[in-house]
Each structure stands twice: as structure tokens, then as C-alpha cells.
Amino acid sequence: MSEPSDPLPPPLPEGDPLDELVLFEDLETRRQFLKKVAGTSLAVTLGPHLIALASTPTPGGSEAPSAATKMMSVQLKINGRDYHLQIDPRTSLLDLLRENLHLTGSKKGCDHGQCGACTVLINGRRVNSCLTLAVMHEGEEITTIEGLAQGEQLHPVQEAFLEHDGFQCGYCTPGQICSAVACLKEGHAKDDAQIREWMSGNLCRCGAYPNIVDAIKQARDKMGGGA
């Protein structure tokens, strides 16, 4: 008699049938499976911050100190001022600005790189500060909304936003202004369509877009086409 072409899987081990489950061709008890699921759900619920507080097992089986305890020394230049800081290396630039240095002009809208409320300038380029780690920017020039004015003299973009009512609630405005400064410097403000395109990473829930465009055009003309 010929062998069947598709042999049957090996029989389940004996015991309580509800206590056993075949998963991905490996044999695992139902209890082990449920423990794993429960652990995964807990991890999702607690989030990365709390999970990171737990110690990390090493290949040798010993417990390594968690990343939360390993502070890093970093030197940052923000708005022309040098800061020597000891920070958790996982700190976003936005959290460093707001929580550590109390520079709360940069706003946390989404914390996911989608709204632009946290926009700052790094070496003149716009960056979503919620998406970058502070420790990555040693030796770079970081400019926030607090650093645009010269003493009492507002930046031309700030003045133009005031004159054109380029905001309503104002939550997106620091990011809009920082972004507009870079947009002008890039030469991406030739007409309304170009301004709208190159400012599209900065969302305004109040819908102040027409006034924002007018403000940027005024600043462009006042500054002779760029920053």
C-alpha cells in the first residue's frame, strides 16, 4: 500500500484537551499561550515608558540597569545660549524644550510628526521637534519661537502674523512662524500656491490659512524675498 502524500500531524499529547493548543506548528500549552497574550496586552497598556523601567535581561542572565537610569551628558545650543545637560537619551527635542528648559513656545499637538505645532529650526532647517531626539543635535544651532525676536524687536514674520491676524487660538502659531521663516529662506514663497504647498506640514485647526498666507507674503516683501 502506498504512503499518503500528505501525512497527518503528530497526535496531541495526552492530558486535559483544553490545556493544550497547537500554535504555529509548535506545541504549547493553553496556559503558556494565555500567559503570553496577557503579557503582550499588559505591555501595550503600560506603554514604552513603564516597560522601560523594568530591568532588561542580558544574554548571561544577569540584570542590566534600565535605560531610564543611564543619563547622558549633552551640550546643546538653543537660541544662541549653551546648555550643558544630563538627560535621558530617549528624550525628544520637544520634551527637552518644554519639560526640561521650560521653553514652552513650541507646542505639542500630535507628538507624531503630523501637525507641525512643534516645528523648530535646526541649522536653519525646519524640523518637527517631537520626532527627533535631543541628544542628536549637539553642536547644532537650534532656534525656537523664543529665539526669533531680537530683544523687543519682533521678527518680520511675527509682525506680519500680528498685522494679518494669522492665528485664532494661536496653538499652531509658533510652529507656523518658525516654518514660515524657513520657507522664506528656502525661496518657497513666490505665490499663494507655493506658500500653501511648502507650508502644508503645518496644520491649523482654526483654518487661519488665508491670513497666514497673507502674512508670509507681507514678510517676504518686507524682507526682500527671504530671510
Residues within the interface to ligand FES (CB under 6 A): 108-111, 113-118, 128, 130, 167-173, 204-206, 208
- Residue 187 CB, shortest distance to ligand FES, in Å, is 24
Residue 176 C-beta: closest distance to ligand FES, Å: 7
Cell numbers standing for residue 114: 503630523
Nearest residue (CB) to ligand FES, 105 versus 109: 109
Strand pairing partners for 57?
A: 63
Minimum CB separation of residue 170 from ligand FES in Å reads 5
Our CB check for ligand FES shows the closer of 131 and 154 to be 131
Nearer to ligand FES, 97 or 189 (CB): 97
119 versus 218: smaller Cβ distance to ligand FES: 119
If you search the block for the grid coordinates 488665508, which residue do you land on? Answer: 210
Residue that the C-alpha cell 518657497 belongs to: 188
- Contact between 172 and 178 under an 8 Å Cβ cutoff? The reply is no
Report in angstroms how near the CB of residue 52 gets to ligand FES at its nearest: 21
Residue 155 per-residue DSSP state: -
Amino acid occupying residue 164: H
User: What's the one-letter identity of residue 179?
Assistant: S
**Nearest distance from residue 222's CB to ligand FES, in Å?**
22
Using the minimum distance from each CB to ligand FES, give the nearer residue, 48 or 187.
48
Nearest to ligand FES of 76, 127 (CB atom): 127
Q: How far is the CB of 204 from ligand FES (least distance, A)?
A: 3
Q: How many residues does the chain have?
A: 227
Start-end of H helices in the chain: 30-53, 93-95, 156-163, 173-186, 192-198, 209-222
Q: Within 13 Å and on the Cβ side, how many CA atoms surround 223?
A: 23
The C-alpha atoms of residue 227 and residue 220 are separated, in whole angstroms, by: 8
Q: How far is the CB of 166 from ligand FES (least distance, A)?
A: 8
Q: How far apart are CA 157 and CA 218, in angstroms?
A: 8
Q: Judged by CB, which is closer to ligand FES: 79, or 92?
A: 92
CA distance 142 to 136: 12
Using the structure block, give the residue that is written with the C-alpha cell 537610569. 69
